[in-house]
Structure 1
Amino acid sequence: MIELLPPYRLATREDAQELAELVNFAGEGLPLHLWHGLATAGEDPWEIGRQRQADKADEGQVIVVDFGAGAIAGLTGYPIDAVPEPVPDDMPEIFRPLQELENLAPASWYVNVLACYPEHRGMGLGSGLLTLAEALAEAEGLGRMSIIVAGDNEGARRLYERQGYAEAARRPCVHGDWDSDLEDWVLLVKEL
């Protein structure tokens, strides 16, 4: 792990609410849809999301921006192997295009979640987190970055393209029972 200086820090379990909300922003509402599917009768889907994010925080997998009043932006990612695993036949259809795109970026550091609360956008927080992600990639000995974004998320696309990312591939979104107008997922890649 690289050294984190304020306002950046590793997330803790206490950030679980904010992390769940940030993950849902980044995932265009798909995470909440999935948590609904995991919830048992009477169980709050958000609690499932909070627990999952608390577990990731415990594992040191999430970096947040915090100016002293709690997490307002976050980053989660991981290295993709040089030879990605094949997409399993039993993978749910809704995930298949995402996994196919991820597999097209071998030997990269994959930005799985990059999100900021709407009221804090335009402050350079996303750019700062992407700079940290690149430092993490370099610390892992990786020479490129990758991220998947919703095709119609123009704000995110502008941010990534300003940072040097370019479209490498796209796949149609599979909705299943997810109520969304999203048409495509887009893989963006950046050479370091």
Structure 2
Amino acid sequence: MPVVFRPAAATDAREIARLFQVTSEGASDYIWSQLAGPGQDLLDVGAVRYAREGVDFSYQNCLIAEADGQVIGMMHSYVMRHDPDATPSTDPVLAPYNDMEVPDTLYISSLALHEGWRSQGLGVQFLDRAQQRADALKLNGLSLIDYAENTGARRFYERHGFKIVKTCQIYPHPMIRVTGEAYLMYRA
């Protein structure tokens, strides 16, 4: 079955949020829980977040892979710039990530594929498209954060030229499904 890559549409926001839940190991649910109203479903919060326009966390920064009209994966990325006026997070779960960035790169915040679509070369195709976007924007490469526990993903990124350039300790929280270290990875 052929796979088609296309820019995401606002109507993809719920599926983007669902795939974000796959790759974030609970971090997206944690963030969305901070934004949720009483009794609000976290997936609904994520869908609203990705339906926005003109912000980093928007469907506009997502690339969709679909087969037979069904979304099978997505990549969310945006330009990482150094902001000297940014206020560092004081949230204990998020604060360790305050300086986990490589300025002037295309930051891949999520690359997710549904079960059954992994290990078929689609991740490489997503990376190729990310590199094309970074080149078109005259950025200094690609960056992302991966978790030490996610050895399969780390090996994939290392095979494709990414190097660990910084680490931080993950703050333990019941919603976060990983412990240990997070790695900032960069490919020039």
- Fold match, TM over 0.5? yes
Could you tell me which of 155, 158, 172 is aligned with 1:161?
A: 158
**TM-score, length of structure 1 as denominator length:** 0.85
Equivalent position of 1:120 in the other structure: 117
Task: Work out whether residues 150 and 186 of structure 1, in 8 Å CA contact, stay in contact via their aligned partners in 2.
Answer: yes
Could you tell me which of 16, 36, 39 is aligned with 2:36?
A: 39
Shift in Å at residue 161 of structure 1? 0.9
Shift in Å at residue 151 of structure 1? 1.1
Task: Work out whether residues 80 and 110 of structure 1, in 8 Å CA contact, stay in contact via their aligned partners in 2.
Answer: yes
Could you tell me which of 17, 21, 27 is aligned with 1:20?
A: 17
Equivalent position of 2:104 in the other structure: 107
Equivalent position of 2:55 in the other structure: none
Q: Percent identity?
A: 25
Shift in Å at residue 91 of structure 1? 3.6
Task: Work out whether residues 93 and 176 of structure 1, in 8 Å CA contact, stay in contact via their aligned partners in 2.
Answer: no
The question of 1:130 aligning with 2:147 is answered no
Shift in Å at residue 134 of structure 1? 0.4
Residues 187 and 89 of structure 1: is their aligned pair in 2 closer, same or farther, counting only changes over 3 Å?
A: closer
Could you tell me which of 36, 41, 50 is aligned with 1:53?
A: 50
Please give the residue correspondences for 1:144-183 in structure 2 after superposition, counting only pairs within 5 Å: 144-176=141-173, 178-183=175-180
Shift in Å at residue 143 of structure 1? 2.6
- Secondary structure of the corresponding residue to residue 91 of structure 2: coil
**Structure 2: segments with no counterpart, 5+ residues:** 53-57
For residue 94 of structure 1, what is the amino acid of its counterpart?
V
**TM-score, length of structure 2 as denominator length:** 0.87
For residue 95 of structure 1, what is the amino acid of its counterpart?
L
Shift in Å at residue 180 of structure 1? 3.2
The question of 1:67 aligning with 2:67 is answered yes
| In structure 1, distance between residues paired with 2:108 and 2:120 | 20
Equivalent position of 1:85 in the other structure: 84
Residues 149 and 41 of structure 1: is their aligned pair in 2 closer, same or farther, counting only changes over 3 Å?
A: same
Q: Give the length in aligned residue pairs.
A: 181
The question of 1:96 aligning with 2:95 is answered yes
- Secondary structure of the corresponding residue to residue 100 of structure 2: helix
Pick which of 113-122 and 91-100 moved more: 91-100
